[in-house]
Amino acid sequence: MQYYQNFLVVLRFLGTNYHGWQIQKNALSIQEIFQNALFKVIKHKTDIKACSRTDSGVHANKFCVNFKTNILIKPKNLILAINKFLPGDVKIIDCMKVPENFHARYSCTKKEYIYKIYNHKILDPFMHNRSFHFWYPIDLNLINNICKIFLGYHDFSAFCSFDNREKNNMCRNINYLAAERDKNNENIIEFKIQADGFLYNMVRIIIGTLLKANYKKMNCFDVKNILESKNRALAGDTLPACGLYLNRIFYGELII
C-alpha cells in the first residue's frame, strides 16, 4: 500500500529577484526553484499547494505550501535536505506534518501583510528594494484614525486592480489595520493589515490611499466616500511591491 505524508512547509524569501510565486513561462518564479529543489529530495513529482499568489518583488516573512509524498522523512530532515538546493534568498524555516485534507490555500482563515515605508529624506541603502521610500512627514494620528474606516466587511472594488481574472465577490473582512514606527528604527513605518482574504493589489492601494490622505489632509469622511463609491479612480496609487511582506498565515488556531 502506498503511504503518503502531507507536509506543510513554511518559506521565507526576498522577492526582489523573482516574478512572484507562481510559475511563469518566461521568468523565474519562487515556485519553480522550490519545485526543482523539492524534486531533488523526494525524487517524484507532486502537486504543490500555496497559501497565496505573490507579485513580482513581494517578500514573505512566512509563506506556506503543502505537498504529499510517499517517502518517509522527518520534518527537520526535510528542511535541511531541501534548503541545500535553494538559493540564499529563499529558505524553508519550518516544516510539519498535517492532516491529509489540509490545503495551504483553502484551509487558510486569515492572512496578515506588512507594508514597510522608509520615512526619511535619504534612503538607507540596506532598505533599497525592501521598503517604499516616502520622505514627506507622516501624521500617524491622522493615518490611524482613517484606518478605522476600513475595518469590517466591505466591498473593496475601489481598492483593487482589475486584470484578466474573472470578477467575483469583491467583499472582504478586515479585522486589523494600523501603522506604527519601528521601535528600533524611527525612520521605518510599518503598516500591518489582517483580513480573511485580499483582492489583487488591495494592500498596496489601501496604503497608497492612506498616504494620499496624509499629504492632501483628507479626513475619514473623504476616505469613507471613496470606499462606498467602488471607484478605483478615486483611491490612491498602487504602491511598489518592494515594501510588501506576507507576514503571517492563520489556519484556525494554528498561526504560522
**HEC letters along the chain:** CCCCEEEEEEEEECCCCCCCCCCCCCCCCHHHHHHHHHHHHHCCCCCCEECCCCCCCCEEEEEEEEEEECCCCCHHHHHHHHHCCCCCCEEEEEEEEECCCCCCCCCCCEEEEEEEEECCCCCCHHHCCCCEECCCCCCHHHHHHHHHHHCEEEECHHHCCCCCCCCCCCEEEEEEEEEEEECCEEEEEEEEEEECCCCCCHHHHHHHHHHHHHHHCCCHHHHHHHHHHCCHHHCCCCCCHHHEEEEEEEECCEEC
Question: Which CATH number applies to 110-251?
Answer: 3.30.70.660
Topology match between the domains 5-107 and 110-251: yes
Residues noted as catalytic:
55
Q: What is the pTM of this model?
A: 0.93
The tens digit of pLDDT for each residue in 16-40 reads 999 999 988 889 999 999 999 999 9
Mean pLDDT of 193-198: 96
Select from 3.30.70.580, 3.40.640.10, 3.30.56.10, 3.40.50.2300 the CATH code of 5-107.
3.30.70.580
The yes-or-no verdict on residue 170 having pLDDT over 80 is: yes
The average pLDDT across 168-184 equals 94
**Domain boundaries defined on the chain:** 5-107, 110-251
